[in-house]
Amino acid sequence: MASAADRRGPIWPHLRIQLRVVDALLRREMLTRYGRHNIGFLWLFVEPMIFTVGVTILWTATKSVHGSDLPISSFALTGYSSVLLWRNMPGRCIGALQNNLALMYHRNIQVGDIYLARLLIEFGGATISFASLAVLFIAIEWMAPPEDFLKVAAGWLLIAWFGCAVAIGLGALSHLSELVDKLWHPFSYLLFPLSGSAFIVAALPRFAQDIVLWIPTVHGIELVREGFFGSRARATYDLSYLIPFNLVLSLIALIALRYVSRRVVPG
Amino acid sequence: MIRVRDLAKVYPTRFGENLVFEGVSFDLAMGERLGILGRNGAGKSTLVRLISGAERPTAGTIESSISISWPLAFAGAFQPQLTGADNVRFISRVYDQDFERNLAFVEEFAELGPYLREPVMTYSSGMRARLAFAISMIIEFDCFLIDEISAVGDARFHDRCNFELFDKRGDRAMIIISHDAAYVRDHCNRWGVLHDGGLVLYDDFEVAYADFKELIGWKPPPGWPQIPVATA
């Protein structure tokens, strides 16, 4: 049975099956979403690139006030890429199980594999888009190379972790109630201006800083910016808040995933 | 060997809990083909889903030392935007099988011609059924679960399915669900009637069918030949 019995024993054979399944799901999802027409799977990162470039142009044209002396283009690139990273993951996972219920007939495929495949696609797309635009902006000297690449990577991964946990949790809960889908759109839209992408914390008045620092993505984006711009970013972040926050969120997400996996009825 | 013990399934509904069946127990060895009769809603498909491992029972256990298929004739797992060949590729990856060999078999069996490389959403229901059945045959399971396969396709398709299933794979275990009593009679060697939340097993089709007809309230129309039924 696909219950506890055949999951005992060494973990490697199971890991191998799961890797194969996630790989198969990933290719299936990419083919379904991008097909073989025009540029095909290049849309994976061309789409977020268009978004980011659009926002960069918009913010540059309107000379958006962001409260720092950073060039607006590099500010928009770091800010908006991060938004795409954490916001698209839940967007893709909400309702994903409902659309793929028939896959549950294949006993190798677990609910979590469906989410995992989509998260990898979103992470890949957002990361390639961010990296190629960064290289482009550096090449045309709109911005300098990152001062501390590891900090950029750490901040980026922490935002991705947050996105994954939210995505798995909301994805699982969306199978129990359609309210999740309805509420996520306004919620993510409202969270966007507060997420740290459109301001730097140091430029805010004291009371506003205290409020926005409750929002986990703010810490991640500030870390990315410190990696890019060093002290010019005047970053404010607290990893001893963000990491435990992600851990607790992941725990909740996995509980929700387990709850749903045990009750899923294939279509 | 598959060992099913005290299987029960309850679905929550808005009006309280709905018990589909409980206390279902049986063993199935290689070469045994269990045909299950039952009215609409008796829980036949639910039983098959539980055994396929797609869903968990509310109580009871299913132990199996052999590999079990997904329910055959079931075409739902196709991604409609993908081509038939892409779907073969996906299944081959999930089950770690040789794609080229599988594609050759599907090409030969499903007779889809150029449509094998067109999106599944452009297929007719008969084409879908042929693709679904061909894909089900590319993985060599020990036990096949067959849910109402006689409902789709034309006579030629049925003959080819029967040949693949009962001639080439006659040594396997099978669980067959059908409303077509003759199909179940001809292809099974054990029978069961699922009714009122319980499963009763029979070694003789005529006894099983007589009980089943009584349960569904079937009355012979006037002029029906009266053949005495042997009782167990």
Q: What is the pLDDT of residue A4?
A: 42
Assess whether pLDDT exceeds 70 at residue B76: no
Q: Quote the CA–CA distance of A40 and A32 in Å, as a whole number.
A: 10
Give kind and range of the element (H or E) at residue A249: helix A239-263
The CATH homologous superfamily for domain B1-63+177-232 is P-loop containing nucleotide triphosphate hydrolases (3.40.50.300)
Taking an 8 Å cut-off on Cβ atoms, the answer to whether B94 and A3 are in contact is: no
Confidence at B158, pLDDT banded by 50, 70, 90: confident
More confident residue, B15 or A115: A115
- Cβ–Cβ contacts within 10 Å for residue A8, how many? 8
Question: What mean pLDDT is predicted for residues B70-74?
Answer: 76
More confident residue, B106 or B153: B106
B118 contacts in A (CB within 8 Å)?
Answer: none
Mutate to test the interface with B, among A104, A114, A176 (most CBs of B within 10 A): A104
Query: How far does the CA of residue A25 sit from the closest CA of chain B (Å)?
Result: 8
Total domains present in chain A:
1
A262 contacts in B (CB within 8 Å)?
Answer: 56
Taking an 8 Å cut-off on Cβ atoms, the answer to whether A105 and B77 are in contact is: yes
The dihedrals phi and psi of B147, each to the nearest 5 degrees, come to -110, 100
Confidence at B150, pLDDT banded by 50, 70, 90: low
- The percent of residues in chain B predicted with pLDDT above 90, rounded, is 41
In a domain, A78, yes or no: yes
Does A14 contact chain B (CB < 8 Å)? no
Q: Quote the CA–CA distance of A228 and A188 in Å, as a whole number.
A: 26
Mutate to test the interface with B, among A23, A105, A263 (most CBs of B within 10 A): A105
In a domain, A1, yes or no: no
The dihedrals phi and psi of B227, each to the nearest 5 degrees, come to -105, 120
For strand B190-195 and strand B33-38, is the pairing parallel, antiparallel, or unpaired?
parallel
Question: What mean pLDDT is predicted for residues B59-85?
Answer: 84
Mean pLDDT of chain B: 87
User: Is the C-alpha dihedral spanning A180, A181, A186, A188 positive or negative?
Assistant: positive
Query: How far does the CA of residue B53 sit from the closest CA of chain A (Å)?
Result: 5
Q: What is the pLDDT of residue B73?
A: 65
Domain that holds residue A45: 7-263
- List, in order, residues 6 or more apart from A248 with CB less than 8 Å away: none
B62 contacts in A (CB within 8 Å)?
Answer: 1
- List, in order, residues 6 or more apart from B201 with CB less than 8 Å away: B26, B190, B191, B192
Q: Quote the CA–CA distance of B155 and B40 in Å, as a whole number.
A: 25
Confidence at B224, pLDDT banded by 50, 70, 90: confident
Query: Who among B52, B53, B76 is closest to A267 (CB)?
Result: B76
Q: What is the pLDDT of residue B223?
A: 76
Model confidence pLDDT, tens digit, residues A156-200 = 999 999 999 999 999 999 999 999 999 999 999 899 889 988 888
Assess whether pLDDT exceeds 60 at residue B147: yes
Q: What is the pLDDT of residue A240?
A: 94
Q: How big is the CA angle at B121 (ends B116 and B122), to the nearest 5 degrees?
A: 65
Assess whether pLDDT exceeds 90 at residue B125: no
> What tens-digit pLDDT sequence spans chain A (267 residues)?
344 445 567 888 888 989 999 999 999 999 888 877 778 788 888 888 888 888 888 888 877 666 667 788 888 889 889 999 999 999 999 999 988 888 888 888 899 999 999 999 999 999 999 999 999 999 998 888 899 999 999 999 999 999 999 999 999 999 999 999 999 999 998 998 899 888 888 888 999 999 999 999 999 999 999 998 888 888 889 999 999 999 999 999 999 999 999 888 876
- Cα of B168 vs its chain's centroid, Å: 17
- The percent of residues in chain B predicted with pLDDT above 70, rounded, is 94
Model confidence pLDDT, tens digit, residues B20-30 = 999 999 999 99
B71 contacts in A (CB within 8 Å)?
Answer: 105
- List, in order, residues 6 or more apart from B17 with CB less than 8 Å away: B10, B11
Taking an 8 Å cut-off on Cβ atoms, the answer to whether A35 and B63 are in contact is: no
In a domain, A2, yes or no: no
Nearest CA in chain B to A108: B94
Helix, strand, coil share of chain A (percent; to 5) = 75, 0, 25
